[in-house]
């Protein structure tokens, strides 16, 4: 582990944390590969005092200074993938392909944030009075970011980079299970790119640090990515403070396989959607809705895909799936599998594990009321649910409390497109599975999958990390009858 990070948090530089040390572990082997620092609430208070002061100068600086920092960070990350990729493999349990993909997303996010900094940030408005009238986005001040363990680097950077680009300071609390890849490695990258001191603070820690960020009056904007349960608690705590809160939460995403779909390609898409990164993605394909006439064939093809996928240590070679994040998550996943089988489903593939390595699993004969169909599993499990007509399929999609992503597979993309407007989700992918992201798109869900602003692209970033301010200007002071 980089000695600069050992037992450290980041507050303009790497300094010792006031809280207990965090063991950084290789999830595949359980080996301790280093120690990071953790923060206390006093560290949060100190960070906010420094960030509030630094933010004023950063917001007042010419925009090209912010652009230069972000572009340097993107260039460093691209030229030196070893800054991040090995940590994603070891600390987050990412298979090589997933780690490389996430690294590429971080580079793209930094570049898109640089473009956001130079993008138009307002518009002229018509007025019936003889004046100039316009609306512009101004920085919110200090943005609090709470990020998860599954895609730790990009799910931190997609808030950190645009917030900085628009003139804000950031206090980031990464999940302590991925303190390096979700925080400290990113801090070093931005530090080396020349980010001025005081604008970024990385404070790993437990729930009490997140709660302090939510409750702190000096944080007007909060960006949280995580579970729906935690999101509800954050929304309730932040509401009396009138914070600007952005919640990117869970999903129980459906892959709708229409009767005319190419089943070989459909099974390939379904396997990728359910098993990528061990299913630990908010967009994971959690339900495979297949017409009754094709369900048996589709299930057999999907099970064959699952049985053929290699599972193992991401650092030891090319594997498709690595370990789950910890034993608690493994036991939760296995609980969904066993309870669904007990309720009458059939095991078509997988259903077993070795330490944290869970085999990709296919469950057949799953009913909508089975545990694996009702809840977000966050593991490599593919429940196959049969439907008899399109109306029933749409109802199954929309009956779910979540509303993040849906994939619709069909030989006729226009039929799928017509169907898409009826699906109560934030994102629809026609002839693709449910997992996708790009730095330029407005990423977000509805219902229990999220609320607040979207991530990605200049327009969404301005709305998410800025305040819209109306300004009028006249050549002389207006005259009134009083």
Tokens of 409: 């597979």
Q: Is 118 in contact with 162 (CB distance < 8 Å)? A: no
Residue pair 275/453 in contact (Cβ under 8 Å)? The answer is: no
Alpha-carbon gap, residue 152 to 175, rounded angstroms: 8
Instruction: Indicate which residue of 248, 296, 342, 424 is catalytic.
Output: 248
Q: How far apart are CA 411 and CA 259, in angstroms?
A: 9
State the first-to-last Cα distance of the chain, in angstroms, to the nearest integer.
71
Take residue 63 and report the two structure tokens written for it: 């925009």
Measured CA to CA, the distance from residue 284 to residue 437 in angstroms comes to: 12
- Active-site annotation holds for 282: yes
**DSSP per residue, 200-233:** EEE----HHHHHHHHH-TT--EEEEES-HHHHHH
For residue 242, the tally of other CB atoms under 10 A from its CB is: 8
How many angstroms separate the CA atoms of 209 and 226, rounded? 15
d(CA 68, CA 165): 10
Residue 118 CB coordination number (10 Å): 13
Quick check: 27 and 325 in contact, CB under 8 A? yes
The conformation of residue 311, written as its DSSP 8-state character, comes to B
Strands 285-291 and 381-387: parallel
Cβ proximity of 321 and 349 under 8 Å: no
The whole-angstrom separation of Cα 224 and Cα 246 is: 6
248 is catalytic: yes
Query: Residues 221, 282, 376, 463: which is the catalytic one?
Result: 282
CB atoms within 10 A of CB 474: 12
Residue 473 near residue 132 (C-beta atoms within 8 A)? yes
And the tokens for 118?
């130079």
Q: Which residues are catalytic?
A: 248, 282
């Amino acid at each position: 582990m980089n000695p600069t990070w050992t037992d450290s948090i980041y507050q303009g530089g790497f300094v010792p944390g006031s809280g207990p040390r965090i063991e950084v572990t290789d999830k595949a082997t359980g080996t301790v590969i280093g120690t990071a620092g953790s923060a206390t609430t006093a560290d949060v208070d100190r960070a906010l005092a420094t960030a509030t002061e630094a933010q004023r100068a950063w917001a007042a600086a010419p925009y090209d200074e912010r652009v230069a920092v972000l572009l340097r960070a993107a260039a460093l990350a691209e030229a030196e993938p070893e800054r991040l990729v090995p940590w994603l493999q070891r600390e987050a349990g990412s298979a090589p392909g997933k780690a490389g993909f996430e690294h590429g997303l971080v580079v793209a996010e930094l570049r898109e944030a640089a473009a956001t900094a130079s993008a138009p940030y307002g518009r002229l408005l018509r007025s019936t009075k003889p004046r100039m009238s316009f609306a512009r986005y101004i920085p919110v001040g200090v943005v609090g970011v709470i990020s998860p363990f599954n895609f730790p680097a990009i799910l931190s950077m997609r808030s950190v980079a645009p917030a900085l680009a628009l003139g804000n300071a950031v206090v980031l609390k990464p999940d302590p299970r991925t303190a390096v890849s979700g925080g400290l490695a990113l801090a070093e990258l931005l530090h080396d790119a020349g980010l001025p001191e005081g604008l970024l603070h990385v404070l790993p820690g437990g729930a009490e640090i997140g709660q302090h960020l939510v409750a702190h009056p000096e944080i007007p904007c909060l960006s949280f990515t995580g579970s729906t349960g935690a999101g509800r608690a954050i929304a309730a705590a932040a509401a009396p403070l009138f914070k600007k809160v952005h919640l990117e939460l869970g999903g129980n995403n459906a892959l709708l396989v229409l009767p005319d779909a190419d089943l070989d390609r459909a099974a390939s898409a379904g396997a990728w959607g359910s098993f990528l990164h061990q299913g630990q993605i908010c967009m994971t394909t959690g339900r495979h809705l297949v017409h009754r006439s094709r369900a048996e064939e589709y299930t057999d093809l999907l099970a064959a895909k699952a049985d053929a996928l290699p599972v193992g240590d991401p650092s030891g070679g090319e594997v498709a799936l690595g370990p789950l994040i910890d034993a608690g998550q493994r036991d939760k996943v296995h609980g969904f599998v066993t309870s669904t089988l007990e309720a009458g489903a059939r095991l078509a593939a997988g259903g077993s594990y070795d330490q944290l390595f869970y085999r990709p699993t296919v469950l057949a004969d799953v009913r909508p009321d089975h545990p694996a169909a009702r809840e977000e599993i966050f593991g490599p499990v593919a429940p196959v649910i049969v439907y008899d007509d399109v109306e029933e399929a749409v109802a199954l999609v929309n009956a779910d409390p979540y509303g993040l992503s849906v994939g619709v597979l069909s030989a006729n993309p226009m039929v799928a497109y017509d169907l898409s407007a009826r699906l109560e989700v934030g994102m629809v992918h026609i002839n693709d599975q449910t997992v996708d992201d790009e730095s330029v798109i407005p990423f977000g869900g509805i219902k229990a999958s999220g609320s607040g602003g979207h991530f990605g692209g200049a327009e969404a970033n301005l709305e998410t990390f800025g305040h819209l301010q109306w300004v009028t200007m006249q050549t002389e002071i207006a005259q009134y009858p009083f």
